[in-house]
């Protein structure tokens, strides 16, 4: 897609709000970076919407604004002018828009203080946020089998979730179904298992899609640390993406 002032704004937003995905988007071919920046800028806007106000109604309105944008895209209507919504509408399909609407709806959990109902409820949240985002990102870059991409998305989502535990608890949320060391370790093991499953299907994912899947590789050190030393999760001591991620990215492998 042609570069524009809107895409420059999207890239800057991602660089500030999601440095990891900024790095991974920069690993995509120049011609495709704009599509990822538009998608990831949308995700930054949506993910922070529940946190910029203490008023639940205002947060709901912010999320609904994005759902209205996605409805316009899904139904082929004229999309309202906005530095993120406009370029997003130029790169995603109606089917993408419907998936991203589920992502926005899932973010309503962030507004309130209710715990997840059960393990399936938490998995649904991770799959509709991280999984949908990774699937849309991958399909913007190339051809891919959906199942392994979604398993990679789940792994990346669990890694990000474990990193966020201290901040979520400080904000009065209940992010864990089982906050015991065994429960935390089991969640991390599930993320690692999902990553291994995804890698078994690597042959069914075009190499061009790799930048969209790198966040899963980046999550691996934190998942291993949480599995082996679950106390480091509540202490906020999970490692950042390190050398393995850098090497894999340089080789184009996730």
Residue that terminates a domain, selected from 112, 142, 170: 112
Q: Could you tell me if 2 and 45 lie in one domain?
A: yes
Q: Could you tell me if 29 and 100 lie in one domain?
A: yes
pLDDT at 1: 67
pLDDT at 109: 97
**What does 189-254 look like in DSSP terms, one character per residue?**
HHHHHHHHHHHHTGGGB-GGGHHHHHHHHHHHHHHHHHHH-THHHHTT-PPPS-HHHHHHHHHT--
How crowded is residue 225: how many other Cβ atoms within 10 Å of its Cβ? 18
pLDDT at 103: 98
Q: Could you tell me if 150 and 105 lie in one domain?
A: no
C-alpha gyration radius of the chain: 17
Q: Could you tell me if 102 and 154 lie in one domain?
A: no
Strand, helix or coil for residue 28: coil
Q: Could you tell me if 12 and 78 lie in one domain?
A: yes
pLDDT at 248: 73
pLDDT at 2: 76
Q: Could you tell me if 10 and 104 lie in one domain?
A: yes
What burial letters (b/e) apply to 27-64, b meaning 16+ CB within 10 Å?
ebeeebbbbbbbbbbbbbbbbebbeeeeeeeebbebbe
Each residue of 205-254: pLDDT tens digit? Answer: 999 999 999 999 999 999 999 999 999 999 999 998 765 677 777 777 88
- Name the nearest CA neighbour of 216 among 192, 233, 184: 192
Q: Could you tell me if 100 and 200 lie in one domain?
A: no
Q: Could you tell me if 57 and 150 lie in one domain?
A: no
Q: How many helices (H) and strands (E) does the chain have?
A: 13, 0
Strand, helix or coil for residue 144: strand
Residue that terminates a domain, selected from 77, 112, 147: 112
> Residue-wise pLDDT tens for the chain (254 aa)?
678 999 999 999 999 999 999 999 999 999 999 999 999 999 999 999 999 999 999 999 999 999 999 999 999 999 999 999 999 999 999 999 999 999 999 999 999 999 999 999 999 999 999 999 999 999 999 999 999 999 999 999 999 999 999 999 999 999 999 999 999 999 999 999 999 999 999 999 999 999 999 999 999 999 999 999 999 999 999 998 765 677 777 777 88
Instruction: In whole angstroms, give the CA distance from residue 190 to residue 196.
Output: 10
Q: Could you tell me if 7 and 107 lie in one domain?
A: yes
Q: Could you tell me if 89 and 4 lie in one domain?
A: yes
- What one-character DSSP code corresponds to residue 145? -
Three-point CA angle 22, 23, 28, nearest 5° = 95
How crowded is residue 160: how many other Cβ atoms within 10 Å of its Cβ? 20
Range of the structural domain that residue 17 is part of: 1-112
The residue count for the chain: 254
Number of domains present in the structure of the chain: 2
Residue that terminates a domain, selected from 112, 141, 162: 112
Tokens 């190499």 sit at which residue? 207
Q: How far from the centroid of its chain's Cα atoms is residue 81's Cα?
A: 24
Q: Could you tell me if 127 and 246 lie in one domain?
A: yes
Phi-psi region of 172 (alpha: psi -120 to 50; beta: other; left: phi over 0): left
- What one-character DSSP code corresponds to residue 112? S
Q: Could you tell me if 248 and 171 lie in one domain?
A: yes
pLDDT at 65: 98
């Amino acid at each position: 897609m042609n570069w524009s002032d809107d895409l420059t704004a999207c890239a800057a937003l991602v660089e500030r709000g999601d440095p990891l995905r900024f790095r991974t988007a920069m690993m995509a071919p120049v011609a495709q970076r704009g599509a990822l920046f538009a998608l990831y800028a949308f995700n930054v806007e949506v993910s922070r919407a529940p946190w910029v106000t203490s008023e639940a109604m205002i947060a709901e309105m912010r999320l609904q604004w994005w759902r209205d944008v996605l409805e316009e895209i899904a139904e082929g209507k004229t999309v309202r002018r906005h530095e993120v919504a406009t370029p997003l509408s130029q790169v995603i399909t109606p089917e993408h828009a419907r998936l991203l609407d589920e992502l926005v709806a899932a973010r309503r959990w962030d507004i309130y203080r209710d715990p997840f109902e059960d393990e399936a409820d938490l998995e649904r949240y991770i799959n509709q946020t991280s999984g949908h985002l990774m699937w849309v990102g991958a399909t913007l870059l190339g051809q891919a089998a959906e199942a392994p991409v979604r398993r990679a998305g789940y792994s990346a989502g669990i890694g990000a979730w474990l990193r966020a535990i201290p901040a979520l608890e400080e904000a009065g949320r209940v992010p864990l179904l089982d906050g015991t060391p065994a429960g935390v370790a089991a969640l991390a093991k599930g993320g690692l298992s999902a990553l291994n499953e995804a890698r078994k299907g690597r042959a069914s994912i075009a190499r061009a899609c790799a930048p969209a899947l790198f966040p899963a590789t980046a999550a691996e050190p934190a998942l291993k640390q949480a599995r082996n030393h679950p106390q480091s999760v509540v202490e906020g001591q999970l490692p950042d993406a390190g050398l393995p991620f850098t090497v894999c990215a340089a080789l184009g492998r996730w």
